Each structure stands twice: as structure tokens, then as C-alpha cells.
A and B are shown apart, each in its own frame.
Chain A
Amino acid sequence: DQQVKQNSPSLSVQEGRISILNCDYTNSMFDYFLWYKKYPAEGPTFLISISSIKDKNEDGRFTVFLNKSAKHLSLHIVPSQPGDSAVYFCAASKKTSYDKVIFGPGTSLSVIP
């Protein structure tokens, strides 16, 4: 039973355009959401996060949107750059239980020059 879903295994975007990566979750108890970025042969690195008390969080070219009623979040990258090509993992946790961070299967983003 996948509690965190990323239904698009891959995504290709032209350089300079917007990349939108989607994530859905089933457990309404999740109240903290994170995005991680992973390059080949490296460990995932933290990108951006959002608490359930917010519906948007922005950090430079990266913005995460949270729709609690739909149990859906998305990561927007604008403008997309070739260096953004990586696998992006969505993750969720409960603030009262940080030990259980649940990851989605990932979306592989390719930004074409």
C-alpha cells in the first residue's frame, strides 16, 4: 500500500520552461512534506519542504504547492535548467513521528537543452 505516490515515472522538459512534478498521498495524518533530488551514484539531497499549515513555499526557482483537501502537492521548477535533470522524490511525515518518513517512488526529470 503506497502512502506516497508519484504517478509519473519520468518527465522531459525543454530548458527554460516550467517543470511540474506531482505527488499524491493517502494518509491524512501527514503534516510535513519534503522534496529530495538525487543524481546518479549520489545520495538524495534535500530540496524544499512545506508544512501542512501552509499552501505554498518558495525557494528561488523552486516552489512547492500543497492542496490538503486533495491530498496533493506539486513541485514547480522555473525556469528549468539542464542541471535540474535528476530523480525527484516526494516524502511525507507526521510532525509527531519524524522517524517514519515515507518516500514516493520518484520521478526522473530530463531537462533538454
Chain B
Amino acid sequence: NAGVTQTPKFRILKIGQSMTLQCTQDMNHNYMYWYRQDPGMGLKLIYYSVGAGITDKGEVPNGYNVSRSTTEDFPLRLELAAPSQTSVYFCASRDLGLGGEKLFFGSGTQLSVL
């Protein structure tokens, strides 16, 4: 069982470039999330989705866009990369119901914007 899969693992972007971080889960979870982790700052929620076709902003959504066309996929789009978006990005998912509070995370994408 693969769980939550993120690609790519590493990426270097130039300022102003665009890219999409991919996230796929095979657990049929309804809820999916994108977090970014900056040193000493914990995990900040960027966007989340409660099901296909439904997305909403988290704590730090500026500069990002998401879509959720299927239950499995939740890509994160950076349109005009800026150095402030240098971070490690984690995708996560969770189930509903008892015990559904815990998140399952992917292994992360380390992004550098130079």
C-alpha cells in the first residue's frame, strides 16, 4: 500500500517560473491537505480539500493554487515562484470517522527558488 505519494522529491526553480507539485493517495481518503515546513516554524496549512471539487484556503494560501478533480489527486500549483516559497512541502490525507483525526503524510518535496 503506497499511502500518500508526492513528486518530485527535489526541485530548483528560478524566480518567476511555475510548477506543479503532485500528490496522490490510494487510501480513498476524503480530506487532503498541503502544508509547508519552514525551519523552526512547524507546519503551516496552505490549502485543503474535503472532497473532489471542494477546496479551501488554509493559513498561508498566497502564491498557490489547488484543484481536486478526483478523490486520489490533489496537485499544488505555484504560478510565479518567489524566494519566499523556498520550503519543504508536505501533502497529507485523512479519513472520516473514528480515528480519522490523524493525518497521513507524503515524504515531502524540497523546493528552492533562486
A interface residues with partner B (beta carbon < 8 Å): 4, 6, 9, 32, 34, 36, 41-46, 49, 89, 93, 95, 98-106
A43 touches B40 (CB 8 A): no
* Contacting residues, chain B, for A98 (C-beta < 8 A): 31, 94, 100-101
B101 touches A32 (CB 8 A): yes
List 20 A–B pairs whose Cβ atoms lie within 8 Å, in order of A's numbering.
A32-B101, A36-B105, A43-B4, A43-B90, A43-B92, A43-B105, A43-B107, A43-B108, A44-B103, A46-B102, A95-B101, A98-B94, A99-B33, A100-B45, A101-B33, A101-B45, A103-B35, A103-B44, A104-B42, A105-B40
B interface residues with partner A (beta carbon < 8 Å): 4, 31, 33, 35, 40-45, 48, 50, 56, 58, 90, 92, 94, 100-108
* Contacting residues, chain A, for B106 (C-beta < 8 A): 43
Measured CA separation A105–B37 after assembly (Å)? 9
* Contacting residues, chain A, for B90 (C-beta < 8 A): 43-44
Measured CA separation A103–B92 after assembly (Å)? 13
B101 touches A42 (CB 8 A): no
* Contacting residues, chain A, for B92 (C-beta < 8 A): 43
A105 touches B103 (CB 8 A): no
A105 touches B41 (CB 8 A): yes
A99 touches B108 (CB 8 A): no
Given known A-B contacts A42-B108, A104-B42, A99 and B56 have beta carbons under 8 A apart: yes
